[in-house]
Structure formats: C-alpha cells, structure tokens
Structure 1
C-alpha cells in the first residue's frame, strides 16, 4: 500500500478486490492509459523482486526508492528505444561509418557520453580536431548520478558547443552518435519532449555560433569521444588537454593516418 500510494492518481484510487492478479490487471486495463499501465507493470515487478530479496535475507528497499528506480528504468528504456528508432537510416540515406576530416578552415567537435550505472557515474567528452586530423583540444568531465542516456548525450553536446564558443572556433562541425539530440537541434520549432527545456537551451547556445553545422555519425565514427567519455566515467575526471591524452592517443594517430594516406 505504501508503494501504490506513490503511483499515479488512477492507481492510487483503485480498489479492485478479485480472486486473482489477472482480474486486477484486466480491471486496470479498462481504466488506465498505456502510460499508467507501464508504471503499474514496473512497480509490480519491483515489488515482486523486493519480496524475493527480503525472503533470502536482503534489505527492504523503501517505497520512495522503489518508485524512483522504477521511474528511472522506464525513462531510460523509452529514451533508448526512441534513439534506436531515429538512428535507423532510410534506404536512401548514406551515413559515414568512420571519422572524416572537416573541410579546410573548419574544425570538427565530436561529443559523446557514457554511463556507469553500477557506480552511478556519468562521463561526457568532447574531442576537437582540425582539417588535418590533429587534436586541438579535448575535454571530459564526470558527475555522480546516472540520468537518462538522452540527457547525458544532450549534456555532452552542450559541452561541445560551450567549449567551441570559449575557444572561438568557427566554422565548427558538431558531430555525435545520438540522433535524437541531432534531430532536436537541427529541426525547427521548440522541442515538446520530456527534455525539451534542455534541448531548447542547447539549440540557443549553438545558434549563437555564427558558422556551424551539426550532424549524426554512426558509433564507429565517434570512437575518440566515446573512449574518452568512458575513461571519464571510470576514473572520475574533469580535465582539458591540448595534447592527446594517453587513452586516445593511439586511436587519434590511427584515424589520422588512415585519412591522410
């Protein structure tokens, strides 16, 4: 009862008394929306898992923690599924599979995020290179807490924009492997999603750069930013480099060598 009292209003006020769990579920389906039933299913599963842990000597998780973890799990799942759907290329769409050089006079800023869910740490990274493939600056930071994957990617993109502005880079090509973020920034109009305020702030930041473009690249072409973000999440770093950091030095050399030869 303590758990259900923290659920959505329709579940809180439900008082079905039936001979089976199936009866309760069917009754709720006739009353609740799909979103409310998703919460019901998540909470019911968490209650069942908590009971099993307690039976075998585990700790009793508080109702507030159980509801918070359920909400976070649902948000993460929905964000990942949305990202997968928007990341599927159309038959006529040709997407780069490896990192490419920007045109002369341009710089390319690749960004990515990594989540260490077991330790509860998020890492974000930006790698900025010139038209010869040489590193200009790299930056990463880590924070306690694991937001949704989409939130983490948006924060990494924001760091890429802010670092480009601080260094006065333009024209700048911003590139990442989170297509949901790329689409939100390059499409006209305000974003109405759960992260709309974050993405709208990011859009305002990037539009203050006189000459820029943002594009999506497959994960294979975003290796340097990915490795640095993972390194940040594993080692709890907040650091900036103007020479290649050890964790991506060889990778940068290999990508540069492959492009200039």
Structure 2
C-alpha cells in the first residue's frame, strides 16, 4: 500500500470568468496561470475555510478510495484581483478571499448525474454511500446529487458540507462514534446493497497514516481562522483523531446506512 502524502499543486488565479450561483457560497469558474479553468471555492464565502477544509479532506479521501474526483489545487488570489469587478457582492467576496483558496478542475461539458436516468451499479453506489457516511456528507440528495457524468464516467464534486461537526467542535470525539442519521436522504442509498463488502475493502485501504497524510495538506492559514485550538498542529491532530475514531467504528455507520436502506426497499 502506498501511504505517501498526496501532492496538491498551487496555481495563481488570473481571470474571473463567471459566478456559479449555487446556494450562498458563490463559487466561480476562473482561469489559472496554467491555462486551465477551475471551479474556485472562496475562503471569504459564508462557511469560510471550514468548507474548504471539508472539500479538501472529502475530495482526497474519495480519490484515495478509487472514486473519480476532479484534481484539487490550491488557488492563490492576488490582492488586486477583482478590483474591476462591477458586481459589489462579488467584489466583496474577492476582497475577503485574498490569499489561499481551493479550486477543482472544471469538467467542461459534464452534466448532472441522475441515477434513474443514468443508472448505477451496486458497487459504485455502496462506495459513495460509505464515503458520505464516513465524512458525514449531508449534501448528496435527490435535490442536489453533487455528481457529474463526464466522458461517460461518474465524478464526485462538492464535499464542502461534510464534517459538519467542525462548525462547533462540540463533543467531537463522541460525534465520531455515532451513525450518520442523514444518510436516509442519500440519493444512492437504495442502490447501495454491498455496504458490508465495501466496508471490508475500504478498511484495507484507509488507516491512520493515510488519514494523517491527507489532513496534513490543510494550510495553516485555514486553521488559524475561528479556531478553538491553540495551534494549527493541534487542530490537525483533532481532525486526524476524529477520522481515525470514525474509521474504527465503521460498522456503526454501515449498520445505520443498511438499516435506513431497509426502510426504502
């Protein structure tokens, strides 16, 4: 098993192309200095750096587990960027997001996945439901699947609503040990008939070192904002501890998902 630290590239944002007016976070399509277009997530948006941390951890865990994720990059926003932007709301967002942000490769021509129209196999559905139960992702519902079909393949996007415990850090160690009740609303739950088999396979892939390597990617700057911890290192240790604890009781959230599925079929 390769437990090396994932590599995240750095890019400089050079052009704001268009906003993606979804929810209140106002992500945008932007061009970077490497010539590619990205979906840019701003640290100055409503949920701040916590959404970026959840996006980074959730996305890199998905990639480690063999699920398709657009490349995640650290996107640097210059202080002068956006001064000519005529929309005051967007200009305020850009001003509040100077420095290090997060972006994902823009999948041009992709369309929203619908399991009824596109179909999905039990293995893939079980893998995605397992991941979302693990990271407590509340945002993969029929209303908003946060999955795309690109080049005839299924891609996951948008994990910013995951790890919702970190918005307060109240009883976070106890939260790690609980089933994920909101899995009942997951768009793929009824198709996820292989959760026990997926659990066994994923526990072979994930371990404390893999988790620590992914958590180590979080920039200090994101951990210094509104933090209940004394240092970025302590903050990272808490994320690692939470995820390691949760992995150790995966049978709890797998049973919770299986029980919720039984009510649907």
Q: Which band: TM-score by shorter chain?
A: under 0.3
Bigger radius of gyration, 1 or 2? 1
The TM-score with structure 1 as length reference comes to: 0.26
